[in-house]
Each structure stands twice: as structure tokens, then as C-alpha cells.
Amino acid sequence: MTFERNGLLMLGLAALLVPLAVHDQYLIHLGVMVLFYAVLATSFNLVTGYVGEFSLGHTAFLGIGAYTAAILSTRYGLPMWCTVPLAGLVSMLAGLMIGAITLRLQGPFFVIVTLAFSEALRLIADNWVALTNGPMGIAGVTPPVWIAHLDNVHATQAFYYIMLGIAAVTVYFAYRFVYSSAGRAAVTVRESRYVAQSIGIWPFAMAMQAFVLGATLAGVAGGFYAHYISFVGSDLFGFAFMATMIIMVLVGGKGTLLGPLVGALLVTVLQEYLREAQELRLTLFGIFVILIVLFLPRGLMGFVAARRASRKTARDDLATRKTLHGGAR
């Protein structure tokens, strides 16, 4: 707990100082995308890492949040400070509805049904032209008025700090959940549903809390994305965003708070760096992911946690032996 808390504080402080040290618009934009994916990966990790249910439909909440913000902004003229929280609220309601159906299933059935929900929403976005503008998407989602008057660099910096605030709130809620009684109960459900039930834990209720919280956070990220990119399309429901979230959680380490943040940073930077490789980009990226899965199955933060635990055990054993030898004398 202390290690994760200190790590989160250090990452937060470093993120806060980035725009003060970097004045290149592209690098600041990259920082915005790192924070955006950090929120998505964290929200996905709540369900996959702590409850143990592998959802392939988490992009549904990202898309719902983005479309909600885009529609409220372009058709009703609501400002960003209003559309983003409402995007989270609508995604939360969708999470309650979808979770009430899917969380009664387990294993491959849960995976297939969540994927089906996401695909159904993609088809709705492509075909409900009156609401979503169909395959053309919704363009012209406006940024806040005070940002619109800034130059490109300062506007990107402003978006960076807004996204940093959203990421900070996301990590705070995730931290409070993980180290609460509900979070510990969710981990118990992940390890063994039967043991959890035997001690009075209702697996469905614990999973629902994590699922709805993750849906809400993903919806808020989607609302921000709509205003930042100023365009929303049905590709948000596609598998590309889902695959990115999965890779980030696997690389960083599922079931940890630091893992999704580290995974978001590494994967986003690596993707941008490999753009120069062109045709080899996907191949090199795939090799990197395969190596992580093979040699660090618990991810980078899982590996660090295991090393810390082994060192602590070794120190405790050494202290015990010294005590026993001292008593023998």
C-alpha cells in the first residue's frame, strides 16, 4: 500500500511538471494521450484486475461518453464542464444496465456478451443517422471558450491540465475502491467465488460496483476525448481501443494501481516511436508484447511487487536466523 501510494504521488508530481519543462506542442499532445489512456486502462483494470472478469466491451462506455458529450455540445450548446460529467453519468447508467445482464455470466460467456454489446452499439452509431450522423460521425465539438482563444501550444497545455485533473480523480476513486472493504471483497471474488460466498460476500454486488465505477470513468474519458479531438465516430466502439487497453494493463500489470499508468506511458510512447518503422511497426510492437507476456506474465509492476516481497521475505528470514543464533549463545 505504501509503495503504491508513494509511486502514485511521484507520478502525479512528474506529470504536473511536464508542461513547465516541455514546450513542444506534439510532446504535450503525447502527454494528453498518455493521461487519456491511463484513465481508460485504470477503469478497465478495475473489472479485469480486481474482479477477474475479462470484458471485451469496455469501449462501449468510452463511445457512449464521447457521443453524449458530442451531442450535448453540438446540438444543445452545453459547455465542456457540463458535458463531461453528464457523459460519465450516462455511461454509469449504461454500466448499470449492461452489468445487470452480463455480470450474471462467467468466463467465456461474459466475454462474448460484453463484446456483443459493444458491437451492437457500434452498429447503432453507424445506422442511427438522426442521432449520431451515421458513418460520418459528429464533427465540430467545441472546446471551452477560454481555450479557443489561446494559441496552439497553450491550448494543448490547457487540455493537458484538464486531462491531468480527470486522471487524478480517476486514480483517487480507484485507490479508494481498491483499499476499501468492497475492493478487498472484489479481490476475494476474483480468487474464489465459492470462498467469497462462504464468508457472506455477494459476488454479483461486488462485481457490479467495480463495473459501474469503471464504466463511469471510461465515459468521462470519452467526454473529454470528444472535446479534445472535436470529432466522434463509431470507431470508438471498435476493437482498436479495446486492444490498446488490454495491452496497457498486461504490460503494466493487472490488479495493481500503478500498472495501468506505467503501461499507458510505455505503450503510448512506444507506438509513437515505432511510427518511423512504418511496415515493421505492428510486428515490432507485437514482439514487445509477446516478450512481456512470456517473461513478465504479471506485468512490470507485478514483477516489481514480487521482487519486493521476495526481498522482504529474505530479510525476515535473515533476522529470524540472527535472533535464533543470538538466543542459542
pLDDT reported for residue 211: 94
**Residue 231: beta bridge partners?**
139
Please give the average per-residue pLDDT across 300-323, as a whole number: 76
Q: Provide the residue count of the chain.
A: 329
User: Residue 327: pLDDT above 60?
Assistant: no
**Beta-carbon contacts of residue 308 (< 8 Å; ≥ 6 apart):** 3
Q: Provide the 8-state DSSP code for 46.
A: I
Amino acid at position 135, single letter: P
pLDDT reported for residue 46: 93
| CA atoms of 265 and 281, how far apart (whole Å) | 17
- pLDDT grade for 324, boundaries at 50, 70 and 90: low
Please give the average per-residue pLDDT across 126-132, as a whole number: 93
The C-alpha cell that represents 3 in the structure block: 509503495
User: Residue 32: pLDDT above 70?
Assistant: yes
**Beta-carbon contacts of residue 153 (< 8 Å; ≥ 6 apart):** 23, 25, 28
User: Residue 68: pLDDT above 90?
Assistant: yes
Residue of 120 and 106 predicted with greater confidence:
120
For every residue of 97-146, which 3-state class applies, written as one string?
A: HHHHHHCCCCCHHHHHHHHHHHHHHHHHHHHCHHHHCHHHCEECCCCCHH
Q: What is the domain partition of the chain in residue ranges?
A: 2-294, 298-329
pLDDT reported for residue 1: 66
The model's pLDDT over 6-20, given as tens digits with 9 standing for 90+, comes to: 888 999 999 999 888
| CA atoms of 96 and 210, how far apart (whole Å) | 11
79 three-class SS: coil
**What architecture is the 2-294 domain classified under in CATH?**
Orthogonal Bundle (1.10)
pLDDT reported for residue 325: 66
pLDDT reported for residue 329: 53
pLDDT reported for residue 6: 85
Tell me if 99 sits within 8 A of 218, measured CB to CB: no
User: Residue 192: pLDDT above 70?
Assistant: yes
User: Residue 3: pLDDT above 80?
Assistant: no
| CA atoms of 210 and 125, how far apart (whole Å) | 26
**Beta-carbon contacts of residue 197 (< 8 Å; ≥ 6 apart):** 203
The model's pLDDT over 144-171, given as tens digits with 9 standing for 90+, comes to: 988 988 899 999 999 999 999 999 999 9
pLDDT reported for residue 60: 94
**pTM score of the predicted model:** 0.91
The model's pLDDT over 262-275, given as tens digits with 9 standing for 90+, comes to: 999 999 988 888 77
Q: Distances from the Cα of 292 to the Cαs of 209, 248, 249, 272, in angstroms?
A: 30, 11, 11, 19
Q: Provide the 8-state DSSP code for 83.
A: H
Amino acid at position 114, single letter: T
What's CA 80's distance to the chain center, in Å? 21
**Beta-carbon contacts of residue 239 (< 8 Å; ≥ 6 apart):** 59
**Residue 232: beta bridge partners?**
138
Q: Shortest CA distance to 123 belongs to which of 82, 194, 63? A: 63
User: Residue 299: pLDDT above 70?
Assistant: yes
pLDDT reported for residue 219: 96
Please give the average per-residue pLDDT across 209-238, as a whole number: 94
pLDDT reported for residue 275: 77
| CA atoms of 118 and 36, how far apart (whole Å) | 20
pLDDT reported for residue 139: 93
Residue of 27 and 199 predicted with greater confidence:
27
